[in-house]
Structure 1
């Protein structure tokens, strides 16, 4: 499986540079974070979210290389030493095969079963336009871990049960977000920050990355559902992650780790700090 459609002239991420030269750049993502080398940064304060309480219908789509939920731009994010206020546009996920390892980022070489990435942009009209600004895009990334018990994380049932409606590319399902899916949680603002890129072509180096240290628990059956229920070009959608890229001297920063009480418009759950 390749994340890229290129009329069979290429097979995977190692050849993306033939499609977009930027994919061979020196500030590419994802990366492996070496925790003993990160630099503490007191400017990495809690995030503030507004506009997330409204009921809305988000378009859940199979975009050919992932599952994506489009979010309303009324959801605004600031803080966290971001240079401006950003608006949400979508989240998507990366996973392995049959519940195996499939995160994009790794921590001290450890890979996780899945990674969700919330894409937010400055006040531009599109991701493509925001990508022309070196800090035009920000991504909030969260890794998943295996639940220790056989029980499922019920907060994700609504999303996972909708996957069967978008099994093929271009299929769309309207997923309702209302107060039944909103809940209050402690986001641990222990997170990593670095400057990088989009992880699919054209690999624009315009992303302020935030990777949260806490992880989201899902059962193996829940994780397996993504590679079992989603298809592209007649094949199961598996291993839709880009391998880690060289840091090339980039610094990775680490937050001060205060706690902020917020809500988020789709179910995320964290282990206790």
Structure 2
């Protein structure tokens, strides 16, 4: 078992004994309180490059979560990010049998699951380089919400039912656009500066948490509870508790002010891709 996995399986309250960053003052996740956020007109819609592009990805149970490494040609910019960021990986956090399991909360509400799409500044060649920069990583977070009548979306993740050991993996053919909400909702999001939510808890993340949720059935969400941690225990409640803001401000994108032209650009991209 790797050192990182051993640390992650420890109680989060003990992480600071292993990495001093975990006791820092700009830690993640946080509880986002709507009445305390400030609208910020600089938080414009994102420019997503190759999010519609299909690729073959290696989906792995890494012993403490489920991770999919991403091709670096997938990139994001805009949204008041300082530079262009390239994709690194995505992973998920969830609860138990479809119960509360997201890392971030909104007005104290915890959602059943949260997906994090991790990007690093385009100039960096490794995660270790990016973690030395206070804005080295840009992470997009999306919540999953139970929809009783929804049974099809994200069938890719249903292959996880086959995983009963930490070394199990599978190859998927997909695009990131198939895993996230309708493109028109990507202009409504929260923004704050924070950290990784697992050790080393490095405070190097520009967080973007989207307000609109991804629908998934309770049966699909419950399927994740059949996975195993590296110590053989059920992989449940794989989230870090919320951390104090310590004076940080959370901003909102004023998504309702997005222009019609922005919407047309996104819709045109979808139509063009569907006709290829």
Settle same-fold status: TM greater than 0.5: yes
The aligned counterpart of 2:273 is none
Does 107-116 or 172-181 show the bigger shift?
172-181
The aligned counterpart of 1:57 is 56
Indicate conservation of the 8 Å contact 2:97/2:223, yes or no: yes
- Structure 1 residue 169: Cα displacement: 1.5
Aligned with 2:164 (options 158, 163, 167): 167
Q: Which runs of 5+ in 2 are unaligned?
A: 271-276
The aligned counterpart of 2:145 is 145
The residue correspondences of 1:154-233 to structure 2 (distance < 5 A) are: 154-160=152-158, 162-177=159-174, 181=178, 185-233=183-231
SS at match of 1:176: strand
The TM-score with structure 1 as length reference comes to: 0.87
* Larger helix share, 1 or 2: 2
Indicate conservation of the 8 Å contact 1:103/1:241, yes or no: yes
Alpha carbons of structure 1 residues 34 and 48: separation in structure 2 relative to 1, 3 Å: same
The residue correspondences of 1:1-273 to structure 2 (distance < 5 A) are: 5-6=5-6, 11-123=10-122, 124-147=124-147, 149-152=148-151, 154-160=152-158, 162-177=159-174, 181=178, 185-257=183-255, 258=258, 260=263, 261=266
Residues 21-48 of structure 1: per-residue CA shift (max 9 Å, x gap): 0100000000001111101100000001
Q: Which runs of 5+ in 1 are unaligned?
A: 265-273
* Larger strand share, 1 or 2: 1
- Structure 1 residue 180: Cα displacement: 11
Alpha carbons of structure 1 residues 13 and 182: separation in structure 2 relative to 1, 3 Å: closer
Residues 94-142 of structure 1: per-residue CA shift (max 9 Å, x gap): 0001111000000111111000010011121122211111111010001
Query: Which whole-Å CA distance do the structure 2 matches of 1:106 and 1:165 have between them?
Result: 30
Alpha carbons of structure 1 residues 81 and 178: separation in structure 2 relative to 1, 3 Å: closer
Indicate conservation of the 8 Å contact 2:140/2:210, yes or no: yes
Over the residues paired in the alignment, what is the CA RMSD in angstroms?
A: 2.4
Query: Which whole-Å CA distance do the structure 1 matches of 2:246 and 2:190 have between them?
Result: 17
Equivalent pairs, count: 258
